[in-house]
Structure 1
Amino acid sequence: MSASVKAAVPILPAVDVATSLAWWTDVCGFTESFRDNTPPNYVGISRDGASIHIASITDKTVGKAVGEQTMVRIVVDDVTLFFEEYKQRGGKVHPNGGLARKPWGTLEFAAHDPNGVCVTFLE
């Protein structure tokens, strides 16, 4: 018998945690689960079965560089509906990341969070 993996919780970098938190909650529909301080340096968010943490990187140059090299893929049950919700909340789609069926079979769209993290929502 082997152990099973129950979940994964990515920790995303942010130069400004409050700004990233607002994008994730106001635009992507996640809910704040916890925070360390006000304003926050470390927060947890969730939506349905997914959890994400956002951590402050105090050096703005390093933080932006790390953010722009970070990617996260989030699986949803109806990406077309999620896409419409995202746009209605004011979400901007990556210029090359419109809703499309990819050669590997997923239907997905991509965006950048305020720190430059590439976020792909897919089914």
Structure 2
Amino acid sequence: MLTDIHPKLPMRNQKKTRDFYINQLGFRPFGAASYPGYLMLQRDAIQLHFFEFSTLNPLENYGQIYLRTDAIEQLYQEFLDRKVEIHPNGQLSLKPWGQKEFAILDPDHNLLTFGQSL
């Protein structure tokens, strides 16, 4: 029945969101067309979709997703090398629930938490 999930997150500026996810996080465009007010990006098997919300106050944005990985330390180092700002409370660490995790905020303060089961 269910086969995939493609979270939709708010964005204020399509160009800034696209640049951040492509140049900082290593995503690539998904699909052959560009749509005004809508953005689709992919990295490996993960697709993220974004919808325009130009009046979004990033400090009031509660958008968040959890992305699982099988190479948490490698991904963390890749982001450090790309100068991605790690959330101040989201440094790579082992959590009591058996996950190794880190977190970042995108330009619109969508919280992206990356985790690997240990």
Aligned equivalent of 2:19, options 22, 30, 45: 22
1:77 is displaced (CA, Å) by: 1.2
Please name the residue that 1:95 is paired with.
88
Corresponding position of 2:100: 107
Q: Which runs of 5+ in 1 are unaligned?
A: none
Normalized per residue, the structure richer in helix is 1
The secondary structure found in structure 1 opposite 2:65 is strand
TM-score by length of 2: 0.90
Structure 2 matches for 1:39-78, cutoff 5 A? 41-61=37-57, 64=58, 68-78=61-71
Alpha-carbon distance between aligned partners in 2 of 1:90 and 1:73, rounded to the nearest angstrom: 21
Aligned-pair Cα RMSD in Å: 1.3
Q: Which runs of 5+ in 2 are unaligned?
A: none
What do residues 58-94 of structure 1 show as CA deviations (whole Å, max 9, x unaligned)? Answer: 2244xx355x211111111101000011111110000
Provide the secondary structure at the position in 1 that maps to 2:30.
Answer: strand
Structure-1-length-normalised TM-score = 0.86
Equivalent position SS for 2:84: coil
> What letter is aligned with 2:70?
D
Identity of aligned residues (%): 25
Number of positions where the alignment pairs a residue of Structure 1 with one of Structure 2 = 114
Specify the code of the residue in structure 2 equivalent to 1:97.
G
